[in-house]
Chains A and B, each alone.
Chain A
Amino acid sequence: MIHSLFLINASGDIFLEKHWKSVVSRSVCDYFFEAQERASEAENVPPVIPTPHHYLLSVYRHKIFFVAVIQSEVPPLFVIEFLHRVVDTFQDYFGSTNVGDQLPTGQLSVVPWRRTGVKYTNNEAYFDVIEEIDAIIDKSGSTITAEIQGVIDACVKLTGMPDLTLSFMNPRLLDDVSFHPCVRFKRWESERILSFIPPDGNFRLLSYHVSAQNLVAIPVYVKHNISFRDNSSLGRFEITVGPKQTMGKTVEGVMVTSQMPKGVLNMTLTPSQGTHIFDPVTKLLSWDVGKINPQKLPSLKGSVSLQAGTSKPDENPTINLQFKIQQLAISGLKVNRLDMYGEKYKPFKGIKYMTKAGKFQVRT
């Protein structure tokens, strides 16, 4: 299992260490630094690095490397998943307002995921159904692959030991699901009902995948015309974003990013709305579009200046898209009802739907 843990920040300082067994010298991290150098980018550092006496397993989040030192065989995912949980916990802890004087109390509860003696004056349970569309759209605008991945995030503040059931109008849409450990699996298997004693506070109740057989509605399209000419240091760049299958809802929070080829020196662009930035060092173009008005489609036009004397780049940039649609679960998933057993009071219940772009990519 995990022998020691080192936290390394962006500038390569080991700023925290923790040893569960005997102390491992921090010089073991040198192997990690070597690998980091070879990998050029942080995300390409191999998560598992063997060294003569140890194995280094690491995760990279919030610009911090969490490097675990292992001495013997252990399932790598065991360590990686654990490290991610550690990060989640940190995030939870430091993210909340009362970074604390109070050390966590080691309470033991009958329901391992719920503390005992929870009390609220206002009893409320909110559920957010959030769906993300992962898609690859090809040059001509047709969908190469598209999937919907959804989650139900909950914020439950209920007194005592409430026992909740949540049912769907159309549970058959859910093709693949994974649960918070509180969900009773058998109940889901037999009745397609989520039955659970919730943890206190925020948690992810369910992640799901919508059946791959269903074609996915793609709510936006991108029209693009990006061309580099031979023997010219100028290229043309033009993109327009428009709504497609939005079920009558507004598409907002639209953000377009695109990694330009190395040969691009600068871009002179005019957006019809929103703001754009081109970083000449990283060659990253980002355009914060905002809302899409179907009457007046947002566009970004202009020219690209290329390095003189070199031939035009072979590769075309891909366009990454982010967007949000409120009050819509694009799969059509609907929560039917939420019931509470085990407690007498009437809780306040709320359900919100949202659709977002996941990994949404347009090839050009």
Chain B
Amino acid sequence: MAASPAYGEEKGGSSSLGEPEYGHDPASGGIFSSDYKRHDDLKEMLDSNKDSLKLEAMKRIVAMIARGKNASDLFPAVVKNVACKNIEVKKLVYVYLVRYAEEQQDLALLSISTFQRGLKDPNQLIRASALRVLSSIRVPIIVPIMMLAIKEAASDMSPYVRKTAAHAIPKLYSLDSDQKDQLIEVIEKLLADKTTLVAGSVVMAFEEVCPERIDLIHKNYRKLCNLLIDVEEWGQVVIINMLTRYARTQFLSPNQNESLLEESAEKAFYGSEEEDTKDAKAEAASLAKRKPYVMDPDHRLLLRNTKPLLQSRNAAVVMAVAQLYFHLAPKAEVGVIAKALVRLLRSHSEVQYVVLQNVATMSIKRRGMFEPYLKSFYIRSTDPTQIKILKLEVLTNLANETNISTILREFQTYIRSMDKDFVAATIQAIGRCATNIGKVRDTCLNGLVQLLSNRDELVVAESVVVIKKLLQMQPAQHSEIIKHMAKLTDNIQVPMARASILWLIGEYCEHVPKIAPDVLRKMAKSFTNEEDIVKLQVINLAAKLYLTNSKQSKLLTQYVLNLAKYDQNYDIRDRARFIRQLIVPTEKSGALNKYAKKLFLAQKPAPILESSFKDRDHFQLGSLSHLLNAKAVGYQELPDWPDEAPDPSVRNVEVPEWTKCTSREKRKEKVEKPFYSDSEGESGPTESADSEPESASEESGSSSSSGSSSSGSEEEEEEEEEEEGSGEQSEDKEEEEEKRTKRKEKEGSRKAVPGSADSPSEEEEEEEGVKKAKKKKASQGKKSHTETSSEEASASESSSSGSDSGSEAEAKQRKVPPSSKAGPKEISLLDLDDFTPPPPQPVPSSSIVSTSLVTDLEGLMLTDTSLAPALLSPAFGAVRTYELLHRMAGEGLSVEYCFSRRPFPGDPHMVAVQIQISNNTDAEVKSLRVSEPKPLSGMRIQEFPEIERLAPGDTASVVMGIDFCDSTQAANFQLCTHTRHFYVSIQPPVGELMAPIFMSENEFKKEQEHLAWPGEGKLMGMSEITEKLTLPEKCRSDHTIVQQVTSAANVGRVPCGADNEYRFAAKTVTSGSLVLITLERREGTAAQLTVNSEKMVIGTMLVKDIVQALVQ
């Protein structure tokens, strides 16, 4: 954000100078009138020798400009001072020049030579400001000079000046668009710039001058992705928006296969199963034809590197990332943006306004994404009306069968609001809910009818309009309501409502045969005083009655038509004439007359009430055009995904020198590491540079070392966190900790030996490595805490990579950098990239050293010896616990749960959930039980037996069973004590919805083949999901892979002959569908994960979870 000084300066010009002036000159009005004497004053001051006088004069003049007063007559006096030595005066003269040079071009030319001199000044700040002014004064005659200055500044050694050059480009372009070609050359040059300072500004120039030249981005794409996190906030927004467009032209849609899946998943929740399978089959045909989709690594790079920016404090950045994910991410990943967007709702109301508009659009396409945040859209009486109405829109979009009752209850309170516009909008919203969700239609209708007796006419009117729309759906059942509404014509005055009632009565006059003619009689009486829309409906009513009940209404109709014939409004006159011809049979009346009844009383389709935000997403979200729902000037269309991906190699860049350099580690730290970015990002470019797999693997290795704990699985992270408190305090404790882990580990291996007596124990080797690493550490003696911990990380690193002997050497090597990193650094001015972050301090990640016996066993289990299922499930290993009720929320009662992975006794279709309840209060808690489970359709909950009493400080452990129906929908229920109820919910990770089964290699192959190449009636490709992934270094040893997979899902290992393949099998708990997992290691770091399962939804989610477990 080095732009900030520049901004500060300019702001200083307009405000800080204007404001004080305001204060200390009470007669300031005088200055600003055309009091020439005062202006003479100023001229005198400007001519004086004293800088202080000049400064004072300039301050006043700039204040005049800021207040919109004309100060142009001072131009000659001011421009003389452009060469003034005093920098403060100079700055203010610049402010003046930028404002008036356009008006006095000839005089302005006098100042040009000063700027040209400024461009050569040794001080970069002066060079930059000279360029800034030169490019801002808008004097066409100096275009060649500007062009030259920009070209020169683009090669300036100071990144700040280069940034200013980028800023100058759009200014010159708007002055003279003929310069485009030359400017593109400069843009191309600046796009290649490696500093974060320039990136945002040059992309901005690109967007303004040549957004169509997408080819200029190719070579810089990866760099931009990687620099992104370190670019200043405003630059980030511009870059992200541009990259969104870029990605849409270069990559394939990540949802081309999934879109079908996703839809069927949705249906599974709301629709019937049968329908689902039918659809699925139909879709499968088209699905099978397509090639399996593999995401371009560059596409992934963009998604990965923008995601952290969802945590930005800048709402514009968050919105930019959100729209990027919305337009580019696979559907399964879009969900992450919801939380960030909901966060923005806490911001200023203008921000809320924009965010809600975007949420409204998104919530139509991806309702599920915002459902968990339903309550964040509840309306407060203090919200501004425009915010209320937008929130209402979102709430309505989110309404479905499950939450509609809550939403309607909420709407009920809104109806009593004092804000009548809001009440009207609420009634509309109720109408929309009623049309969309059949189940509540009658409830809504009844509620609206009650509103007809509301005292506020606006409320009544709005209700009438909405009721009219609802009644159109099933009029026969509602003649009572129509009668009721007919009575309202006596009182209600709002034209729209009167018109609606009349239309209803006319349309359904057969349901109210007695009342309708009477209403017509009354309306005929008041006809002349009605509004135009009412008059038209009176004519309409008359016509319909004439056709159905001409006996009673013939005269009335004639009368009304006669009145209308002489109405002032031509529409009404026309209508009357037209209708008379149509309905009243005469000799001349044509063939149409016979069909009059059919014409007027045809069945009319019920109106569809839909959101005004529907389909607004064809505009890029977050854009001005989206907000206005109209194309704004300069809007760049978001292109559709291409059918065939363009050549991805265009983004390849020659490998930068540093990768070949021997002191690679060090240089990388220095040159390439941006200020506070993650190392993960850097592995990006090499990841896809397939030509050099070795450097890629090294790269990812080093990256995992600097952020080793980040790559651990969640369990590990949890453990680490617990250890953190003590671990950080003293080294001694850490040492102890390690000893403990080591002991544990030994135990583990000891136990493991019997199971595989003759197979060469991997652990032993592994432990060897650990020992060595530790010895090394010990020999280092007293070192700073920082180093120890990083050292330790590398120690555990080497252990995790198992028998890989090279890792030890690497660990040794890695010892060197910390010393060069630690300590205060010499900070050279301006070279932003030379700044290295302080040494990272990874947390001791001793837990990476396997603690689970099971996984150790699995690491060894390469032969066909199959083990009992109980042994394989990590029931007694590290099981992840989840919080059900936090201590604070539970008022001292804290509840945690975990999936024990044991079969639930009594019902094999239930997942066993072990619940641990601790009483942290100082009173006894009595009769703890589950009550009012509210399972979704099909879901069943077997409650745990009531706990009669739980003494203070005690902990109880119980098991309950839940049949999740093979879906990851949460099970909701209440946890009750003798005094309180707590609403809680358990949401199972997909991996817990299955239980391991055992089969031989042959069985596995057979089943897999059966799934992949099903017989008749089934379609191939339906039950197989494949994903390519890159294994990080720490995840390459056999047992870590097995550990990660089994921790992500409750599956059993299937023996396998090939040593580069891992197989696992399980059956879903409810339906017993087979789930087969194959992980195949390819050469280098590549691997391919295949999941076969009839349950496509589970399969897709499982792939995601396992990939995450392996890659993280």
Q: Residues of A with Cβ closer than 8 Å to B?
A: 1, 5, 14-23, 26, 41, 43-44, 46-48, 50, 55, 58-61, 70-78, 80-82, 84, 86, 89-90, 93-94, 99-100, 103-113, 116, 134, 136, 138, 144-145, 147, 149, 160-161, 163, 165, 167, 169, 171-173, 175-187, 189-192, 195, 204, 207, 209, 211-217, 245, 259, 261-262, 311, 314-318, 320, 330-332, 336-337, 341-343, 359, 361, 363
Contacts and interface: CB of A to CB of B under 8 A. Distances in A.
Given A22-B102, A363-B413, 17 more contacts: A17-B68, A43-B349, A74-B624, A76-B354, A81-B314, A81-B351, A104-B9, A104-B12, A110-B829, A161-B827, A176-B339, A176-B343, A185-B678, A189-B707, A214-B883, A215-B888, A359-B380
B633 interface: yes
Given A48-B624, A106-B125, A181 B312 contact: yes
Given A190-B842, A191-B842, A106 B354 contact: no
19 contacts: A1-B204, A22-B138, A48-B627, A61-B348, A73-B636, A77-B355, A108-B160, A113-B1, A149-B346, A181-B233, A181-B312, A185-B308, A186-B676, A186-B679, A190-B709, A190-B710, A215-B886, A215-B982, A217-B888
Nearest to A61: B348
Interface in B885-900: 885-891
Contacts of B838: 163, 195, 341-342
A105 B6 CA distance: 9
B378 interface: yes
Contacts of A330: 888
Contacts of B237: 75, 78
Nearest to B18: A16
Interface in B876-927: 883, 885-891
Contacts of B115: none
Nearest to A190: B710
A49 B378 CA distance: 26
A273 to B, nearest CB: 25
Contacts of A14: 68
Query: By CB atoms of chain B within 10 A, which of A15, A18, A190 has the most?
Result: A190
B724 interface: yes
A336 B19 contact: no
Nearest to A191: B843
Contacts of A70: 624
Contacts of A76: 354, 622-624, 627
Interface of B: 1-2, 4-6, 8-20, 66-68, 88, 91, 99, 102, 124-125, 129, 138, 160, 171, 174, 204, 229, 232-234, 237, 241, 308, 311-316, 318-320, 339-340, 343, 346, 348-351, 353-355, 372-373, 375-376, 378, 380-382, 384-386, 410, 413, 416-418, 454-456, 622-625, 627-628, 630, 632-636, 675-680, 707-710, 720-721, 724-725, 728, 786, 824, 827-832, 834-835, 837-838, 840-843, 883, 885-891, 982-983, 985
A107 B376 CA distance: 42
B315 A77 contact: yes
A213 B1 CA distance: 37
Given A73-B636, A78-B316, A106-B6, A112 B381 contact: no
B824 A99 contact: no
Nearest to A262: B418
Contacts of A180: 313
Contacts of A55: 624, 628, 632
A116 B67 CA distance: 35
A47 B832 contact: no
Contacts of A113: 1
A61 B351 CA distance: 13
- Sorted nearest first, the 7 A-B pairs with minimum C-beta distance are A190-B710, A72-B634, A215-B889, A186-B678, A106-B5, A145-B375, A47-B350
Contacts of A108: 2, 5, 124-125, 160, 829-830
B416 A315 contact: yes
Nearest to A53: B633
Secondary structure dominating the interface of B? helix
Contact of B313 (A73, A179, A216, A315): A179
Contacts of B623: 73, 75-76
Nearest to A15: B67
A280 to B, nearest CB: 16
A4 to B, nearest CB: 11
Contacts of A144: 375, 378, 410
Contact of A314 (B455, B679, B710, B885): B455
Given A147-B376, A315-B418, A80 B707 contact: no
Nearest to A203: B313
A14 B69 CA distance: 12
B506 to A, nearest CB: 32
Nearest to A78: B316
Contacts, number: 313
A36 B125 CA distance: 42
Given A110-B830, A176-B339, A181-B233, A77 B382 contact: no
A73 B633 contact: yes
B351 A99 contact: no
A80 to B, nearest CB: 5
B888 A47 contact: no
Given A75-B624, A110-B829, A110-B830, A59 B634 contact: no
A189 B720 CA distance: 13
A333 B953 CA distance: 22
A347 B725 CA distance: 22
B313 A178 contact: yes
Given A107-B5, A213-B883, A17 B67 contact: yes
A245 B2 contact: no
A311 B455 contact: yes
A161 B824 contact: yes
Given A72-B632, A186-B679, A16 B721 contact: no
A94 B676 contact: no
Contacts of B316: 75, 77-78, 80-82
A189 B348 contact: no
With a 10 A CB-CB cut-off, give which of A44, A100, A103 has the most chain B CB atoms: A103
A331 to B, nearest CB: 7
Contact of A167 (B19, B384, B724, B828): B724
A112 B312 contact: no
A207 B350 contact: no
Nearest to B882: A213
Contact of A186 (B125, B636, B677, B830): B677
Given A71-B633, A216-B889, A16 B67 contact: yes
Residue in A136, A177, A359 with the greatest tally of chain B CB atoms within 10 Å: A136
Contacts of A315: 416-418
Nearest to B982: A215
A167 B727 CA distance: 13
Given A75-B624, A186-B710, A178 B835 contact: no
A191 B709 contact: yes
A105 B237 CA distance: 27
Contacts of B241: 75
Contacts of A109: 2, 829
Contacts of B891: 217, 245
Contact of A178 (B67, B343, B418, B627): B343
Contacts of A163: 838
A145 B889 CA distance: 13
A343 B823 CA distance: 9
Contact of B382 (A149, A192, A359): A359
Contacts of B710: 186, 189-191
A314 B416 contact: yes
B843 A177 contact: no
A112 B9 contact: no
A147 B380 CA distance: 14
B232 A112 contact: yes
B323 to A, nearest CB: 9
Contacts of B6: 106
B12 A103 contact: yes
B756 to A, nearest CB: 34
B885 to A, nearest CB: 8
